[in-house]
A and B are shown apart, each in its own frame.
Chain A
Amino acid sequence: MSPLLEIKGLHKRFHGVEVLKGVDLSLNQREVVSIIGSSGSGKTTLLRCVNLLEEFEGGEIILDRESIGYRGTGSGRKRLPDRELSRQRAMTGMVFQGFHLFPHLTAAGNVMLGLRKVRRMERAEARALADTWLAKVGLGNRADHFPGQLSGGQQQRVAIARALAMNPKLVLLDEITSALDPELVQEVLQTVKALASEGATLLIVTHEMRFARDVSHRIVFMEQGRIAEEGPPAEIFGAPKNARLVEFLRSSRD
Chain B
Amino acid sequence: MKPSDIGILIVDDEVSVRDALYKWFKFDGYRVDTAENATSALQKLQDNSWDIVLLDIKMPGMDGIELQRRIKQFDKSIITIIITAFASVDTSIQALKEGAFDYIVKPIDPDEMGHLIRNACEQRRLIYENIQLRQQLDEISFSEEIIGESPALKKVMDKVATVAQTDSTVMIRGESGTGKELIARAIHSNSNRRYFPIITINCGAYTEGLLESELFGHEKGAFTGALYRRRGKLEMADKGTVFLDEIGNIGHKMQMDLLRVIETREFTRLGGDRLINVDFRIICATNRDLEKAVRDGSFREDLYYRLNVFSITLPPLRERKSDIALIARFFIKKYAQAMNKNVTDLSPETLEVLSRYEWPGNVRELRNVIERAIVVAKGSYIDVSDLSFPFPPDIKNTEEDSLEAVEKSHIKKILERTGGNIAQAAHILKISRLTLYNKIEKYQLKK
A, B in one complex: no
Binding site for A on B (CB under 8 A): none
